Structure formats: C-alpha cells, structure tokens
Amino acid sequence: MRRFGWILVLMSWIGLVMAEERNSIGMVLVLIPPGSFVMGADRTMDERVVETETPRHKVIIGQGFYLGKYEVTQAQWQAVMGSNRSEFPGRDLPVENVSWEDVQEFIQKLNRLEKTDLYRLPTEAEWEYAARAGTETVRYWGNGMEEMERYAWFGYDQGNAYRQTHPVGQLQPNGWGLHDMLGNVWEWVADWHGERYYQVSPEVDPKGPDKGVSRVVRGGSWNNGGESLRISNRHDYHHEYRNSAVGFRLARTPAAGTVR
C-alpha cells in the first residue's frame, strides 16, 4: 500500500512536469485546464470586499490555456525589449514600471521572436480562475492572513516585502504551481475595467467591457497590506500608467487542436 502511494505521488509529479513548457527566453508556462468556478466575493467572505468584487457568479473557462508560472522577470523583458526601466533592478526580480501599452509591445515582439501569435495577457476571468486553482476561499491557501508570509510578498513596512520587490518563485505556489499570484507586483490583465461588469458578465469566457478608460490589474503588490491581498480584489489604472508596483505575467493560447 505504501509503495502504491508513492507511485501516485510520482505520477502526479510527472503530470505536472509534462504540463509545463519553457520558451526561448526561459519563460515557464503551466497548462491550466478548462473548467468552471465562482468568480468574485461578498462580505460574508471578508468585510473588506467592495462592490466591484460583487456579485459572486459562475464562470466557465471553455478552453485550457498556458499561464506563466512566474511573473515576467527583468531578464526576460531585457531579452525581448533590449532595455529595462524597473525601479528595483535585478535579473530575477519581476519587471515593473511598465504600462499596459508597454506590455502590448513586449507581446508583439515576443510573438515575432517565437514565430507565433499566441502570447497575450490573460483575461481577468482566466487570471482569477488560475489564482484560485480550485479553491473558493479569500486566498488560495485559506481565508486568513496567518500564513501569508509563506505565499506572498506584501506589507511595505509591516509585512515581509521591506519596501521592494523580490525574486520570483521564492515562496510557496498555489495548487496549480503558480507563484506570486498574490503580492510582489500587481499584474496587468487584458480587460477594460467596468465598475458593474460582474452584473452583466457572460457566463462563458468573459472578456470584460468592450471599452473603457482604464485596464484591470490583479493580485496586489509589495506595497499593499495583507488585507488587500484577496484573490477577488480588483484595481485599475490608465493603460499608459507606470509604477514600481505594477508588472505582469503572460498567457499563451494553445496551438489549435492541442488542448480541449
């Protein structure tokens, strides 16, 4: 029986490795399966939940997709863009101080480099689905903040971040092996921001409003208190805004016919 248990663990590990891919600039992407989840939150979950996070609603992610195991690093940004304006320099630190428009330029150049058109930002729904990794709690490790230092860089003076970003992948990942989905840097997603979008959002593969004045960021950052690091927490910035607490991770659509 003990031997059988070890076989199951080994099979799970092999499956995880097979579901990861590494591209030409060293970016590791994890295959996220299709499925459904409950998006958003309400005040029965946490008293800090605000109206833009409500109502909770069912969302179906109709097709699997790849998502960066880590936030995009400065080394990866430098390899594609040939420059780096991050406030906290370091090869393995997340790139920051990049606008949504800067990220679109990076994506275009990376797609040319990889001879594809499949790299993109995740939608807001894809981001939350991936961050939850099958959980329905406030954070992917539970509802409380007691274990936060094991999973997220946060807090400015009163957490573990100490007023700066930290190398990606140093803390515990979520259930799908994704690191820093909360904390370190806010992450741009594809969607325009809509204050009441959740009230009219389609159930299958929502992509945000058709237009807007700002783009959504998710996940919180090194200069946010732990109470802000909720999976459902939504924030937004103008698409040309740059800040040392804002970066991103990439999604990639699978090649046609490779993932159901």
Structure tokens at 205: 């593969």
Contact status, residue 131 vs residue 219, Cβ threshold 8 Å: yes
> What is the mean pLDDT of the segment spanning 125-143?
97
Q: Identify the pLDDT of residue 257.
A: 58
| Tens-digit pLDDT profile for residues 157-197 | 789 999 999 999 999 999 999 999 999 999 999 999 999 99
- pLDDT of the residue at 259: 56
pTM of the model: 0.92
With a cut of 90, say whether residue 2 has pLDDT above it.
no
What confidence tens digit (pLDDT) does each residue in 76-86 have?
A: 999 999 999 99
pLDDT of residue 7: 38
How is residue 192 written in tokens? Answer: 């325009």
Residue 11 has pLDDT above 70, yes or no: no
**Mean local confidence (pLDDT), 243-258:** 91
Q: Is the pLDDT of residue 12 over 90?
A: no
What value does the mean pLDDT take over residues 205-228?
97
21-32 per-position pLDDT tens digit? 999 999 999 999
Per-residue confidence (pLDDT) for residue 87, from 0 to 100: 98
- Counts for the chain of helices (H) and strands (E), in that order: 5, 11
Assign 260 a pLDDT band (cuts: 50, 70, 90). Answer: low
| Residue 68 predicted with pLDDT over 70 | yes
3-state helix, strand, coil in the chain (%, to 5): 25, 20, 60
Spatial distance between the Cα atoms of 106 and 120, rounded to a whole number of angstroms: 10
Ramachandran region, residue 225 (left: φ > 0; alpha: ψ -120 to 50; beta: rest): beta
Mean of the pLDDT values across residues 202-218? 97
The correct answer on CATH 3.90.1580.10 for the domain covering 23-252 is yes
Residue 212, pLDDT above cutoff 90: yes
The per-residue pLDDT of the chain, averaged, comes to 92
- Laid out side by side, the sheet with 119-120 consists of 20-22, 28-32, 65-68, 251-252, 119-120
pLDDT confidence bin for 156, thresholds 50/70/90: confident
